[in-house]
């Protein structure tokens, strides 16, 4: 099996911003993750007249253009990955 010399370009806007610098000397403060036992996601009783499922509630928080943009970007990355994987398998 030979690898292709063809290249696939990454989607626009995937580069890190110029001038982005990480401060490695900082420390991340941790919290006790046992503060509350995990519970299943559910819609509160008062909100059930508005939302049937937790997903309906989440979708209502952001405007439709947000979801359209997210879906568009996910599809771009998926197409890029599929093309890249096909080139590697050659």
Every domain of the chain and the residues it spans: 64-90
Distance CA 22, CA 12 (A): 23
**pLDDT digit string, tens, across residues 4-60:** 555 656 666 655 556 656 666 777 667 666 676 777 878 888 988 998 888 888 888
What pTM value is reported for the model?
0.40
Torsion angle of the four alpha carbons 74, 79, 85, 86, in this order, in degrees rounded to the nearest 10: 170
Would you state the structure tokens that stand for residue 15, as one six-digit string?
């580069």
Burial code (b: 16+ CB inside 10 Å, e: under 16) for 14-46 equals: eeeeeeeeeeeeeeeeeeeeeeeeeeeeebeee
Residues in the chain: 90
């Amino acid at each position: 099996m030979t690898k292709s010399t063809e290249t696939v370009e990454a989607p626009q806007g995937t580069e890190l911003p110029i001038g982005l610098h990480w401060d490695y000397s900082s420390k991340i403060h941790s919290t006790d993750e046992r503060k509350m036992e995990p519970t299943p996601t559910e819609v509160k009783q008062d909100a059930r007249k508005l939302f049937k499922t937790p997903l309906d509630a989440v979708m209502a928080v952001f405007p439709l253009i947000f979801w359209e943009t997210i879906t568009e970007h996910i599809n771009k990355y998926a197409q890029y990955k599929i093309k890249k994987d096909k080139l590697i398998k050659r």
